Amino acid sequence: MHLDFAQVLTGEPRDWLLAGWLLSLKLTLLTWLLAVPVATCVALCRLCPVGPLRASGATFVEVIRNIPLLVHLLFWYFAMPELLPETARSWLNAHDAEVVCALIGLTLYTASFMAEDIRSGIRAVPGTQLEAARALGLGFLSSMRLVVLPQAFRIIVPPLISQTLSLWKNTSIATVIGTAELMYQAQRVETASFRGIETFGVATVAYLTVSLAITACGTWFQHRFPARTL
């Protein structure tokens, strides 16, 4: 079988694949930047001594992570806009609704898993650290922010890298709502060129390359900043 990669690596097909790859990277980066603070807040709620906050954090995690990502994306794209006022709906439709809805769905879904990793990291820090901070007069949030979280985040680097890898791969599911990420563009190129092996071969290499880069960054960080607790 003769493989002609030139048909998918030159001209318009190349531009489509490059645009999709860049959008996938953008979705991954923006989702990560939004998901980490959301996950941290949820984890703190789950550890908070206030009962209603603990319950709200647990509800968020159990509800979000036990629903498939595909359902999340379909809900945010097809159902959520129907609940918005007309002005908000018009704004959404004028500003890449597919990308915005994909970002919302990916952020909440990723945050629900990261929250449990962060909570585990916080609980791995010796309780005496929190007690000492409270004894010095710091409140719960200040103790967490200044004493516990800096130690916890070093501990949870491996699971966070795993979640980042999952996030990168999960961006491909956004194709179901028309988000023009890498998989969407690969299908577009395959339809136009009838070069399925070449097209999806290139897409596979693109996904693998970024995945290996994420893993390498995580490995470097672990060696540069090894996990320690006081």
- pLDDT tens figures, 19-71: 999 999 999 999 999 999 999 999 989 988 888 999 999 999 999 999 999 99
Q: Residue type for 219, please?
A: T
Query: What per-residue confidence (pLDDT) applies to 227?
Result: 61
- As a whole number, mean pLDDT of residues 89-103 equals 90
Tell me the CA distances in angstroms from 225 to 94, 124, 161, one per residue in order: 44, 17, 14
Question: Is residue 220 scored above 90 in pLDDT?
Answer: no
CA quadruple 61, 62, 66, 67: dihedral positive or negative? negative
Tell which wins on pLDDT, 220 or 61: 61
Answer whether residue 140 shows pLDDT above 80. Answer: no
| Residue pLDDT, tens place only, 70-86 | 999 999 999 998 888 98
Q: What is the greatest pairwise CA distance in the chain?
A: 73
Alpha carbon separation from 178 to 81, 92, 138, 173 (Å, rounded)? 15, 14, 48, 10
Compute the C-alpha angle 208/209/211, nearest 5°. Answer: 65
Q: Does domain 6-224 have CATH number 3.40.710.10?
A: no
Instruction: Domain ranges for the chain, please list them.
Output: 6-224
pLDDT band at residue 209 using 50, 70 and 90 as cut-offs: very high
